[in-house]
């Protein structure tokens, strides 16, 4: 099953890559890329990294009950390594490593850390859905991006979490019947730690902080996208950057190859197509946009990983 999912993800990426570039003139694409305004590109990276710093702060707040004594830089380091590994490892293996690193550094259960990582990922599905819903009132979205489909994807995630919250401990208890007490106890402890991480977001003060930081992060992300558009001479209104960011980012929820190759380009080009941008120009933007999205996190993640190879080897053994 694991290999089937990997192959299916690679197939999805290959198809999207072919669909995105099948009628594209690469000479025009290179002209767009080479004409980029480098100061604006640099400014876009700075804005994106500020947003990433706030993302790490949000993660710290989500699990503050057990992370209170953990410094912000530990979250920054763990998130950098996890997101970097998602660029190279299939099936979002970087998320698991991210939780492992934080659990080890913070001295808390790895399952508790993983629950906060998963909760963060689900929270990040909210803003693009909201942006697309609002955008659909003012612009005509492609047939592929229908609201029922988007709500189905997001709803499925929350449905799984809801089922775990309601029946997780009961499911874990079912293992008592056919596992040794030692192993069944481990499963119950794993579920308890996982659910305790999910329950933290119910506190009003925590919810308000997380919501505010999420809005700030997404605003900075859209500003970064707008700066990339401007750097390539794509003159679109500022609100268009919100739509382009939302349509592109929500595509990462679709299973694909590591680094979202193909699917990122396909949806970024589709988003610009909404505003009538030429396909060759859209392709140039998609390549630059994807490269800049991966560049700083990959560099940071590799830097931290090389400094802490022992943790990576230990993760492989566990």
Domain ranges of the chain: 2-317
Q: Identify which of 17-31, 90-104, 176-190 has the greatest average pLDDT.
A: 17-31
Residue (of 267, 119, 288, 290) closest to 206 by Cα position: 119
**pLDDT tens across 249-267, in order?**
988 877 778 889 999 999 9
The model's confidence at residue 181, banded by pLDDT at 50, 70 and 90, is low
Q: How large is the average pLDDT for residues 133-144?
A: 77
**In the predicted model, what is the mean pLDDT of residues 8-18?**
87
Predicted pLDDT at 184: 62
Reported as a pLDDT band with limits 50, 70 and 90, residue 189 is: low
Model confidence at 84: pLDDT above 90: yes
Task: Provide CB contacts within 8 A for 7, sequence distance 6+.
Answer: none
Q: Select the more confidently predicted residue: 160 or 268.
A: 268
At residue 182, the pLDDT reads 60
pLDDT tens per residue, range 87-120: 888 778 888 889 888 888 777 777 778 878 888 8
Mean per-residue pLDDT, 18-29: 93
pLDDT value at 316 more than 60: no
What number is the average pLDDT over the span 19-32?
94
C-alpha closest to that of 145 among 273, 8, 239:
273
Q: In the predicted model, is pLDDT for residue 304 greater than 80?
A: yes
Residue 83 has pLDDT above 80, yes or no: yes
In the chain, pLDDT over 70 holds for what percent of residues?
A: 79
Banded model confidence at residue 200, pLDDT cuts 50, 70, 90 = low
- Band of the pLDDT at 190, cuts 50, 70, 90? low
- Chain mean pLDDT for the chain: 84
């Amino acid at each position: 099953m694991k290999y089937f999912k990997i192959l299916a993800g690679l197939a999805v990426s290959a198809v999207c890559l072919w669909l995105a570039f099948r009628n594209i003139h690469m000479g025009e694409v290179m002209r767009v890329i080479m004409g980029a305004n480098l100061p604006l590109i640099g400014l876009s990276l700075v804005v994106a990294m500020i947003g990433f710093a706030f993302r790490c702060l949000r993660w710290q707040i989500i699990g503050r009950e057990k992370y209170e004594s953990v410094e912000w830089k530990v979250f920054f380091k763990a998130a950098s390594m996890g997101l970097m590994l998602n660029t190279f490892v299939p099936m979002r293996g970087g998320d698991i490593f991210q939780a492992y690193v934080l659990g080890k550094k913070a001295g808390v259960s790895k399952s508790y850390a993983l629950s906060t990582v998963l909760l963060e990922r689900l929270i990040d599905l909210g803003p693009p859905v909201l942006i697309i819903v609002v955008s659909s009132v003012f612009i005509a979205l492609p047939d592929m991006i229908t609201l029922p489909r988007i709500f189905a994807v997001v709803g499925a995630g929350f449905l799984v979490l809801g089922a775990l919250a309601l029946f997780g401990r009961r499911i874990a208890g079912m293992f008592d019947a056919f596992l040794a007490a030692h192993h069944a106890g481990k499963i119950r402890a794993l579920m308890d730690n996982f659910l305790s991480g999910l329950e933290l977001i119910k506190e009003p003060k925590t919810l308000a902080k997380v919501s505010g930081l999420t809005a700030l992060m997404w605003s900075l992300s859209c500003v970064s996208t707008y700066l990339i558009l401007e750097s390539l001479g794509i003159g679109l209104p500022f609100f268009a950057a919100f739509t382009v960011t939302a349509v592109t980012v929500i595509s990462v929820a679709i299973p694909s190859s590591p680094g979202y190759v193909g699917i990122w380009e396909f949806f970024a080009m589709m988003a610009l197509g909404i505003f009538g941008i030429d396909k060759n120009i859209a392709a140039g933007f998609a390549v630059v946009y994807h490269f800049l999205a991966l560049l700083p996190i990959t560099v940071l993640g590799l830097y931290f990983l090389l400094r802490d190879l022992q943790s990576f080897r230990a993760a492989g053994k566990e």
